[in-house]
Amino acid sequence: MTTPSLLRCLIVDDEPLARNLLEDYVRKVPFLALQGACASPLAALDVLRRQPVELLLLDVHMPDIMGTTLLRILPQKPLVILTTAYSEYALESYELDVVDYLLKPITLERFLRAVHKAAQRLQAPAPPSVPPAAPAADAPAPFVFVKDGAKLIKVQWADILYVEGLKDYVTIHTRQQKIVSLQRLKSLEAQLPAQQFIRIHHSYIVALAGIEVVHKDRVQIGGRLLPISDTYRRAFQEFVRRNHLQPE
């Protein structure tokens, strides 16, 4: 088995006990070199300016700014393992392309699996200089991850018929199933491509591909009639015109 390259790492956590535990774990791993331990993202920014690292062990909840905010503003991002006591940030960790997501209390076994994953990613061969038919760098992924209970489900945009919102929950109606997720409809709307999805009501977002019939004040989709509210009527009418749909 190939020995992993040495990874310089920085710990960022406002809890002294959590920092001490991670420092102890880092010292037990031969291919990790501890560059420092910071109590806040602001302190970490200063360290990263002076000494770049390959791996960031980053807590999510901290007093000054969130760990995820630090990750978004870094001009050059190292490999990142998020550490937190809160499971609801798992979806955001996928969006930020972190190596792993560790829920506290963190065991040594779970820590080892995460840092080995980081080492493997660092050693992965570089992509060819001229990749064949490479998609545009800013092309969005054709799917979204949603939390369903204790798990994350990958939902392809092409499978979504419509999304129904109720307070802090959404129900995603796909061609195969219904998925209930703890999030607001507005949050999910921001992740969906505007050219394929349109809000028709404060409680409904519909997929262009799923529309069967457009009535004057309703849309038939998945065999169900959904209302078009006055608030969204004009935007929906423009959406209909752009996509050559004719209301009955």
Q: Are residues 75 and 158 in the same domain?
A: no
Distance in angstroms (rounded) separating the CA atoms of residues 38 and 29: 20
Alpha carbon distance 22, 6 (integer Å) = 17
Same domain, 119 and 27: yes
Bridge-based pairing of strands 143-148 and 151-156 is antiparallel
3-state secondary structure of 175: coil
pLDDT, one tens digit per residue, over 83-123 is 988 776 655 556 678 888 899 899 999 999 999 999 988 87
Q: Could you list the residue range(s) of the whole structural domain that residue 39 is in?
A: 7-123
Percent of the chain exceeding pLDDT 70 equals 85
Structural domains of the chain, count? 2
Q: In this predicted structure, what is the pLDDT of residue 137?
A: 45
Direct distance between the N- and C-terminal alpha carbons of the chain, in angstroms, rounded to an integer = 66
Across the range 195-210, mean pLDDT stands at: 92
Which residues are CB-neighbours of 193 under 8 A, at least 6 positions away?
140, 157
Q: What is the CATH number of the domain that holds 149?
A: 2.40.50.1020
Average pLDDT, the chain: 84
92: in domain: yes
Please indicate, yes or no, if residue 215 is contained in any of the structural domains.
Answer: yes
Which burial class, exposed, middle or buried, applies to 139 when counting CB atoms under 10 A from its CB (0-12, 13-18, 19+)? Answer: exposed
Closest CA to 194 of 182, 180, 208, 184: 208
Task: Give me the CATH number covering residue 79.
Answer: 3.40.50.2300
Q: Where are the alpha helices (DSSP H) in the chain?
A: 16-28, 41-50, 67-73, 90-95, 108-123, 185-189, 230-242
pTM equals: 0.51
Whether 47 is covered by a domain: the verdict is yes
Domain-ending residue, one of 92, 123, 154: 123
Q: Express each pLDDT in 146-193 by its tens digit.
A: 877 767 888 888 999 999 998 889 999 998 889 998 888 888 888 888
Sheet with strand 169-174: strands edge to edge: 178-182, 169-174, 160-166, 204-207, 197-201
